[in-house]
A and B are shown apart, each in its own frame.
Chain A
Amino acid sequence: MSEYIRNLSIIAHIDHGKSTLADRLMEHTGAVTEREMREQLLDTMDLERERGITIKAQSVRLTHEYHGHEYQINLIDTPGHVDFSYEVSRSLAACDGAILLVDAAQGAQAQTLANAYLAIEAGLEIVPVINKIDLPSADPAAASAEIAAILGGDPADVLAVSAKTGQGISELLDRIIERIPKPSGDVDAPLRALVFDSYFDTYRGVVCSIRVVDGRIRKGEQVLFMATNDKHAANELAVSTPWILPVDQLRAGDVGLLITGVKHIDQIRVGDTVTLVSNPASEPLEGYDEPRPMVFSGLFPSDGDDFERLREALEKLQLNDASLIWEPETSRALGFGFRVGFLGLLHMEIVRERLEREYNLDLVSTAPSVAYRVTLTDDSVIEIRSPQDLPHLTSVAQLEEPYVRAMILAPSEYIGTIMDLVQSRRGTMHHMQYLTPERVELIYELPLAEVVFDFFDHLKSRTRGYASLDYEPTGYRVSDLVKVDILLAGLPVDAFSTITHRAKAVQYGKGMVETLRELIPRQMFDVPIQAAIGGNIISRETVKARRKDVLAKCYGGDISRKRKLLEKQKEGKKRMKMVGAVEVPQEAFVAALRVDTSDR
């Protein structure tokens, strides 16, 4: 009965202990045995375990007895990093409530606020919890006060737990049952199930995570995906406990897995509604907003023959990462590839690594760029996602760049230094509010391009790690932008072009030329590197021709060894890209990320 079901997500700022709390909840409810337990069990991807962060939301079904009844709790552990907030909103759409977790030693941080607002907007019941109370530096009273201030409740209402020691976990389970409403759907209505995630399994094909809102679905029934209008058989149904457990049916309120044997990836769309062919629903559920990529970068196969494999890999990965978008891109320097949109730099890094690892590709990426809006002299407006697409300036009437509303939470002593940083990034203050006397929330308007790359690193170093940041797009604004081109051996290299604010162009051009001089190895001839704005050279350096490239000796004893050495060096060179006659190492294409244009 759906009366005994609770669907919720755990949301929090990064590292506040969501996955560890999920461990304790699984352990406490007997979902996993002591032997099966390991830290952050739901972080199953290699990348998640290596980096110690959650990238993908994961759901798990728990059972908990409360007042003589067995309850089914469908729990979703979500990521905390700002780049993956799309993952959080999708998870929330499958839930009726959320645990808002705050590290008692750190207090509320930017994503605490941002995720709390997401949950409130989604109309969810929020259970406030402070974590890590076992830490000597924990300040439960302050953290509870902050949470209460954000949610507008009573600090005494905030539950205190330690996901490390297990303290407070059984109270939390009871609190979940008491506070979070039962699912509201109607078992007798026609089936409506929301596809909130999916992945591609080599043997099973596409596997969908669904939340059944109304009705029920039985194994073997014919289902209809309402947006794509595709019909398939529900070959298998399962729940994650967290081990995959086959079931015969899923009912309103349930969260589970649907396997239809679909091999064609484009037939599945996250956010779609599944209904029954025999008794279809008339209206689909409200789906998801399209994700809004923040940055775009080119992804090119190192080996041009892998272009099609890269396309397939992107399609498969998109099933598991609904925020991914891309379009084909051609570069004179790098050949055929894709312009891919990302939610931020971490997302970009993760996608690239997943493509390389899970699909065995070797990729070259180009420096990320935001999308600009260009009004042409004929009044038409285009959006460009790559600096190389900027039309010639004679046909450009106006350039606009995206702005964001940035929220910074920091101890109030750092207000001055944060102001300085924001000003050097062309930002303006919008709003300031004290959460508590010690902690302040600052709201700024900033160009996205000034925030999305290294802003957070600078913010952290200026505030000794105490500030946190969240941002959301607010639209485009006219801006005095110029394109900086880079020429290698006299020829412009499309993949190196960047659009930047005029005031920073020279500094940027110089930085880029210096960085490239360090990255590009010496060649058979001198390689001049120049930065230019509209034909004017603003900076120049030269990689001097290599003078010595010969082993001192090669005698009877070393022949095989020297040969191997030279062959290995040649392998290393193969990974370089030929730009005209110049060999350019792959990391040079993201050199722009190393250029620091903040005021020093």
Chain B
Amino acid sequence: MMTSPPPQLRPDSPELADQAGEWRSAYVHIPFCARVCPYCDFAVVEGQENLIDRYVAALLAEVSMADDWDTLDAVFIGGGTPSQVSPALIGSILEALDAKFGLVGGVEVSMEANPEDITAESSRGYRTAGVNRLSMGVQSFDDIVLTALGRQHTGRQALQAIEDAHADFERLSIDLIYGDPTETEASWDRTLDSALAAGTDHISAYSLTVERGTPLSRAVAAGAPAPDDDVQADRWERAAERLSERMIRYEVSNYATADPCKYNLATWAQGEYVAFGLGAHGHRNGTRTRNVRRLDRYMETIEAGQPPIAGETVGSDWDRELERLMLGLRRTAGVVTGVGGRRLLERHPEFVDAGIIEHRDGRIVVVKPLLTDTVIREVLAVPAQE
């Protein structure tokens, strides 16, 4: 089993990017949110906090039902809002994972948290429970934007939460969302300033995406202003420029000073992971599974002693080859060319000509990350045989 990467590797280094495919991880989903944000299309529920105990019990049962596997290099507790769950229960989940699979020394345990839930006390609690990396959903430091996004915290609260968490967490990330129509260039600049000043070792900056079926998408369909692609391109460029003062961009939307998020790096390297919880997706032995997305069904299925799997996809070798490229191309390190990459280059010389991708040292690298999907769409259409 691989151990943690030597610290000298840059977060965007090809070696690290490729190594990550060997890591074993677990994803744990916590669906509870105090208020569901209008743009969010994750598996989330609102106003069901009374079910938390029962849900965690189901999670533990699901873990114990799983097939045995290797020890874990990374655990990611995502949501929803994991910080709606008490440190004690989070601790019980980590214990269950340790009992079932074992956690390697130096295992990375990330957890998502909403700023309004983080106090000096809760921060300490999660740290003690075994979490060693916190990812906070700040989204913006501008209260106008926060209100537009339907968030429950203010910029000041976010700063306070970061300060409190810093006492316990050396590894701390913040999520930002840019490109909401109420956001101005100056507002985004101020958010970037504050984010840099907060001194975290990791930042994720996402463009606001209108996901189908969300209240945001209904509002846009009804005529509300939609995020503008060109504005978002400007904002991305601005973020890339400013954040690079202190950090290294290792994926389209992710920046780290030294250590990237291991779990995410593993998924982009087509690594395997077990997954537990509502709507959670797993990847083992070349098979991608997905859990049921309805809370009552999830719990009832497990309580009846059944695995809560809603479906699975087994791709052909070629499907997996294209998937490897699709995931890998999002990284700054690019992806090993391979058969699929060679076919892509043959079929689409225009990408190299237009300076969108580069082919060097046996890797394909997207050098205009804003056009990554222009390339990936063609990757996915490369036929198995010519």
Contact = CB atoms under 8 A, between A and B. Distances in A.
A91 B93 CA distance: 81
A503 B230 CA distance: 39
A550 B204 CA distance: 15
Contacts of B381: 567, 570
Counting chain B CB atoms within 10 Å of each CB, the highest count among A548, A555, A558, A573 belongs to A548
A461 interface: no
A552 B235 CA distance: 13
B60 interface: no
A556 B373 contact: no
A311 to B, nearest CB: 28
B380 A563 contact: yes
Contact of A551 (B209, B268, B288, B380): B209
A243 interface: no
Interface in A554-571: 554-560, 563, 566-567, 569-570
Contact of A548 (B232, B280, B376): B232
A550 B281 contact: no
B132 interface: no
B55 interface: no
A556 B372 contact: no
B380 A552 contact: no
Contacts of A549: 370-374
Given A548-B230, A557-B279, A560-B281, A573 B377 contact: yes
B281 A566 contact: no
B171 interface: no
Contacts of B354: 524-525
Given A524-B350, A563-B326, A566-B376, A548 B233 contact: yes
A554 B207 CA distance: 12
A547 interface: yes
A524 B267 CA distance: 29
A581 B350 contact: yes
B319 to A, nearest CB: 9
B353 to A, nearest CB: 10
B370 A547 contact: yes
A560 B319 CA distance: 11
Nearest to B356: A524
Nearest to A524: B354
A556 B263 contact: yes
A171 to B, nearest CB: 55
B267 A556 contact: yes
Contacts of A560: 281, 288, 290, 313
Contact of A553 (B253, B290, B374): B253
Given A547-B230, A548-B230, A567-B380, A557 B281 contact: yes
B2 to A, nearest CB: 19
A556 B253 contact: no
Nearest to B290: A560
Given A556-B275, A559-B327, A563-B323, A548 B380 contact: no
Contact of B27 (A547, A550, A556): A556
A557 B31 CA distance: 13
B380 to A, nearest CB: 5
B384 to A, nearest CB: 14
Given A546-B371, A547-B230, A569-B377, A552 B253 contact: yes
B369 interface: yes
Interface string B237-276: 0000000000000001100000000011001100001010
A5 B280 CA distance: 76
B264 A555 contact: yes
Contacts of A553: 204, 206, 209, 253
A70 to B, nearest CB: 62
Given A546-B371, A548-B236, A549-B374, A554 B330 contact: yes
Interface string B309-334: 00001000000000100110010000
Interface in B187-239: 204, 206-209, 229-230, 232-233, 236
A46 B233 CA distance: 47
B143 to A, nearest CB: 22
Contacts of B27: 556-557
Given A549-B371, A556-B281, A570 B267 contact: no
B378 interface: yes
A290 B229 CA distance: 55
Contacts of B268: 554
A553 B206 CA distance: 7
Contacts of B230: 547-548
A571 B326 CA distance: 17
B151 interface: no
A550 B288 contact: no
Contact of B323 (A524, A550, A559): A559
Contacts of A551: 209, 373
The CB with the most chain B CB atoms within 10 A, among A549, A555, A556, A573, is that of A556
Nearest to B351: A524
Interface string B157-170: 00000000000000
Q: Which 9 A-B pairs have the closest CB atoms?
A: A547-B233, A552-B206, A548-B233, A550-B372, A556-B267, A557-B281, A570-B377, A548-B229, A549-B374
Interface of B: 27, 29, 42, 76, 204, 206-209, 229-230, 232-233, 236, 252-253, 263-264, 267-268, 273, 275, 279-281, 283, 288, 290, 313, 323, 326-327, 330, 350, 354, 356, 369-374, 376-378, 380-381
21 contacts: A524-B350, A524-B374, A546-B229, A548-B207, A548-B230, A548-B232, A548-B236, A550-B252, A551-B209, A552-B206, A552-B209, A552-B253, A553-B253, A554-B268, A556-B27, A556-B264, A557-B27, A557-B29, A560-B288, A566-B376, A567-B380
Given A549-B370, A550-B370, A557-B275, 7 more contacts: A524-B354, A550-B252, A556-B273, A556-B283, A559-B288, A563-B380, A567-B380
